[in-house]
Amino acid sequence: MQYSLMKKNRLLTGISRLLLAGVVAGLMACAAPGPGGGVSTAPKKEMPKVDPKIAAAYQAALDAMRAGKTAQAEKALRQLSEQYPNYSGPQTNLGILYFHQNKLDKAKASFLAALEINPDNVVSLNHLGIISRNEGDFQQAKKYYEKALKIDPKYAYAHLNYGILLELYMGKRKEALAHYKRYQALTPKEDVEVKKWIVDLGRRVKQ
Protein backbone atom coordinates (compact mmCIF):
# COMPACT_ATOMS: atom_id res chain seq x y z
CA MET A 1 0.00 0.00 0.00
CA GLN A 2 1.39 3.39 -0.98
CA TYR A 3 1.60 6.14 1.62
CA SER A 4 0.05 9.45 0.66
CA LEU A 5 2.25 12.46 1.36
CA MET A 6 -0.21 13.71 3.97
CA LYS A 7 -0.25 10.42 5.86
CA LYS A 8 3.50 10.06 5.53
CA ASN A 9 4.03 13.59 6.84
CA ARG A 10 2.00 12.75 9.93
CA LEU A 11 4.13 9.65 10.46
CA LEU A 12 7.28 11.70 10.02
CA THR A 13 6.23 14.15 12.71
CA GLY A 14 5.73 11.41 15.25
CA ILE A 15 8.86 9.52 14.30
CA SER A 16 11.02 12.63 14.37
CA ARG A 17 9.91 13.46 17.91
CA LEU A 18 10.49 9.88 19.04
CA LEU A 19 13.98 9.81 17.57
CA LEU A 20 14.94 13.18 18.92
CA ALA A 21 13.92 12.18 22.42
CA GLY A 22 17.00 9.99 22.58
CA VAL A 23 19.51 12.70 21.80
CA VAL A 24 22.37 13.22 24.24
CA ALA A 25 25.12 15.53 22.98
CA GLY A 26 28.59 14.94 24.38
CA LEU A 27 29.91 17.56 26.82
CA MET A 28 32.35 18.85 24.23
CA ALA A 29 30.17 17.62 21.35
CA CYS A 30 33.09 16.39 19.29
CA ALA A 31 31.47 12.98 18.87
CA ALA A 32 27.85 13.58 19.74
CA PRO A 33 25.16 10.90 19.63
CA GLY A 34 22.34 11.76 17.27
CA PRO A 35 18.63 11.00 17.35
CA GLY A 36 17.91 7.42 18.35
CA GLY A 37 21.46 6.85 19.60
CA GLY A 38 23.34 7.30 16.32
CA VAL A 39 26.84 8.63 16.82
CA SER A 40 28.67 11.21 14.77
CA THR A 41 31.75 9.64 13.21
CA ALA A 42 33.49 12.90 12.37
CA PRO A 43 37.21 12.90 13.28
CA LYS A 44 37.70 13.77 16.93
CA LYS A 45 39.75 16.82 17.78
CA GLU A 46 42.25 16.86 20.61
CA MET A 47 40.39 18.17 23.64
CA PRO A 48 41.52 18.81 27.22
CA LYS A 49 40.59 16.27 29.87
CA VAL A 50 37.28 17.01 31.54
CA ASP A 51 37.23 17.62 35.29
CA PRO A 52 35.31 14.69 36.85
CA LYS A 53 33.15 17.16 38.78
CA ILE A 54 32.07 18.81 35.52
CA ALA A 55 31.37 15.44 33.93
CA ALA A 56 29.31 14.36 36.96
CA ALA A 57 27.27 17.58 36.92
CA TYR A 58 26.65 17.17 33.20
CA GLN A 59 25.61 13.54 33.64
CA ALA A 60 23.17 14.56 36.38
CA ALA A 61 21.63 17.14 34.04
CA LEU A 62 21.23 14.50 31.31
CA ASP A 63 19.69 12.05 33.78
CA ALA A 64 17.14 14.71 34.76
CA MET A 65 16.47 15.36 31.09
CA ARG A 66 15.84 11.67 30.39
CA ALA A 67 13.59 11.40 33.45
CA GLY A 68 11.42 14.24 32.16
CA LYS A 69 12.44 16.59 34.96
CA THR A 70 12.61 19.50 32.55
CA ALA A 71 12.86 22.36 35.06
CA GLN A 72 15.69 20.64 36.91
CA ALA A 73 17.48 19.78 33.66
CA GLU A 74 17.11 23.30 32.29
CA LYS A 75 18.49 24.86 35.47
CA ALA A 76 21.48 22.50 35.52
CA LEU A 77 22.27 22.94 31.82
CA ARG A 78 22.02 26.71 32.07
CA GLN A 79 24.41 26.72 35.03
CA LEU A 80 26.86 24.49 33.15
CA SER A 81 26.72 26.67 30.04
CA GLU A 82 27.46 29.76 32.14
CA GLN A 83 30.21 28.16 34.22
CA TYR A 84 31.90 26.36 31.32
CA PRO A 85 31.27 28.46 28.19
CA ASN A 86 33.84 26.55 26.12
CA TYR A 87 31.73 23.38 26.06
CA SER A 88 28.96 23.18 23.47
CA GLY A 89 27.17 20.15 24.96
CA PRO A 90 25.09 22.06 27.56
CA GLN A 91 23.86 24.53 24.93
CA THR A 92 23.03 21.67 22.55
CA ASN A 93 20.95 19.87 25.14
CA LEU A 94 19.25 23.09 26.20
CA GLY A 95 18.24 23.43 22.56
CA ILE A 96 16.85 19.89 22.55
CA LEU A 97 14.98 20.54 25.78
CA TYR A 98 13.40 23.71 24.37
CA PHE A 99 12.68 21.95 21.07
CA HIS A 100 10.53 19.36 22.82
CA GLN A 101 8.71 22.08 24.73
CA ASN A 102 7.98 23.76 21.38
CA LYS A 103 9.95 26.83 22.51
CA LEU A 104 11.51 27.07 19.10
CA ASP A 105 12.98 30.57 19.43
CA LYS A 106 14.88 29.49 22.54
CA ALA A 107 15.85 26.21 20.92
CA LYS A 108 17.21 27.98 17.88
CA ALA A 109 19.21 30.42 20.03
CA SER A 110 20.75 27.54 22.00
CA PHE A 111 21.71 25.57 18.90
CA LEU A 112 23.27 28.66 17.34
CA ALA A 113 25.16 29.32 20.59
CA ALA A 114 26.46 25.74 20.48
CA LEU A 115 27.71 26.30 16.93
CA GLU A 116 29.51 29.45 18.03
CA ILE A 117 31.46 27.26 20.44
CA ASN A 118 31.87 24.29 18.11
CA PRO A 119 31.04 24.87 14.41
CA ASP A 120 31.29 21.10 13.82
CA ASN A 121 28.39 20.29 16.15
CA VAL A 122 26.31 18.17 13.77
CA VAL A 123 23.55 17.57 16.32
CA SER A 124 22.83 21.30 16.46
CA LEU A 125 23.03 21.60 12.66
CA ASN A 126 20.54 18.75 12.27
CA HIS A 127 18.05 20.35 14.67
CA LEU A 128 18.43 23.75 13.05
CA GLY A 129 17.60 22.07 9.75
CA ILE A 130 14.36 20.74 11.23
CA ILE A 131 13.45 24.14 12.70
CA SER A 132 14.18 25.92 9.40
CA ARG A 133 12.11 23.35 7.51
CA ASN A 134 9.17 23.87 9.86
CA GLU A 135 9.51 27.63 9.38
CA GLY A 136 9.22 27.13 5.63
CA ASP A 137 12.82 28.17 4.95
CA PHE A 138 13.72 25.12 2.89
CA GLN A 139 16.90 26.54 1.41
CA GLN A 140 18.30 27.31 4.85
CA ALA A 141 17.33 23.84 6.06
CA LYS A 142 19.15 22.41 3.04
CA LYS A 143 22.29 24.35 3.97
CA TYR A 144 22.22 23.06 7.54
CA TYR A 145 21.87 19.42 6.46
CA GLU A 146 24.54 19.73 3.79
CA LYS A 147 26.93 21.32 6.27
CA ALA A 148 26.30 18.54 8.78
CA LEU A 149 26.96 15.90 6.14
CA LYS A 150 30.08 17.66 4.93
CA ILE A 151 31.41 17.49 8.50
CA ASP A 152 30.28 13.91 8.98
CA PRO A 153 29.05 12.03 5.86
CA LYS A 154 28.08 9.10 8.09
CA TYR A 155 25.76 11.06 10.37
CA ALA A 156 22.62 8.98 9.73
CA TYR A 157 19.98 11.37 11.02
CA ALA A 158 21.10 14.24 8.83
CA HIS A 159 20.57 11.88 5.87
CA LEU A 160 17.09 11.01 7.16
CA ASN A 161 15.97 14.60 7.71
CA TYR A 162 17.55 15.80 4.47
CA GLY A 163 15.64 13.06 2.67
CA ILE A 164 12.39 14.23 4.27
CA LEU A 165 13.09 17.79 3.15
CA LEU A 166 13.96 16.73 -0.40
CA GLU A 167 10.96 14.47 -0.88
CA LEU A 168 8.10 16.24 0.87
CA TYR A 169 9.10 19.88 0.55
CA MET A 170 11.33 20.17 -2.51
CA GLY A 171 9.93 17.44 -4.77
CA LYS A 172 13.33 15.83 -5.37
CA ARG A 173 12.37 12.19 -5.11
CA LYS A 174 15.49 10.58 -6.56
CA GLU A 175 17.82 12.53 -4.28
CA ALA A 176 15.57 11.84 -1.28
CA LEU A 177 15.62 8.11 -2.03
CA ALA A 178 19.42 8.11 -1.99
CA HIS A 179 19.48 9.75 1.44
CA TYR A 180 16.86 7.35 2.85
CA LYS A 181 18.95 4.41 1.64
CA ARG A 182 22.09 5.93 3.10
CA TYR A 183 20.34 6.45 6.43
CA GLN A 184 19.17 2.85 6.44
CA ALA A 185 22.67 1.58 5.64
CA LEU A 186 24.17 3.60 8.50
CA THR A 187 21.59 2.53 11.09
CA PRO A 188 22.57 -0.61 13.07
CA LYS A 189 18.96 -1.79 13.38
CA GLU A 190 16.81 -1.57 10.26
CA ASP A 191 14.18 1.15 10.47
CA VAL A 192 10.98 -0.62 9.40
CA GLU A 193 9.08 2.62 8.72
CA VAL A 194 11.82 4.05 6.52
CA LYS A 195 12.02 0.72 4.69
CA LYS A 196 8.38 1.26 3.66
CA TRP A 197 9.22 4.79 2.48
CA ILE A 198 12.08 3.46 0.38
CA VAL A 199 9.85 0.88 -1.31
CA ASP A 200 7.07 3.40 -1.92
CA LEU A 201 9.37 6.15 -3.17
CA GLY A 202 11.32 3.70 -5.33
CA ARG A 203 8.11 2.84 -7.17
CA ARG A 204 7.24 6.49 -7.70
CA VAL A 205 10.75 7.37 -8.90
CA LYS A 206 10.40 4.72 -11.64
CA GLN A 207 7.02 6.06 -12.82
In the chain, domain spans: 1-24+32-39+141-207, 50-118
DSSP codes, 139-150: HHHHHHHHHHHH
28: confidence class by pLDDT, cuts 50, 70, 90 = low
Closest CA to 58 of 18, 101, 29, 98: 29
4: confidence class by pLDDT, cuts 50, 70, 90 = very low
CB of 123 closer than 8 Å to CB of 92: yes
- Residue 153 CA to residue 159 CA, distance in Å, equals 8
Fold for 50-118, please state it.
Answer: 1.25.40
The average pLDDT across 36-44 equals 38
50-118: same fold as 1-24+32-39+141-207? yes
Q: Which CATH number fits domain 1-24+32-39+141-207: 3.90.209.20, 2.60.120.620, 1.10.1660.10, 1.25.40.10?
A: 1.25.40.10
- Residue 10 CA to residue 77 CA, distance in Å, equals 32
Query: Across-strand partners of 39?
Result: 33
Over residues 73-114, the pLDDT tens digits come to: 999 999 999 998 888 889 999 999 999 899 999 999 999 999
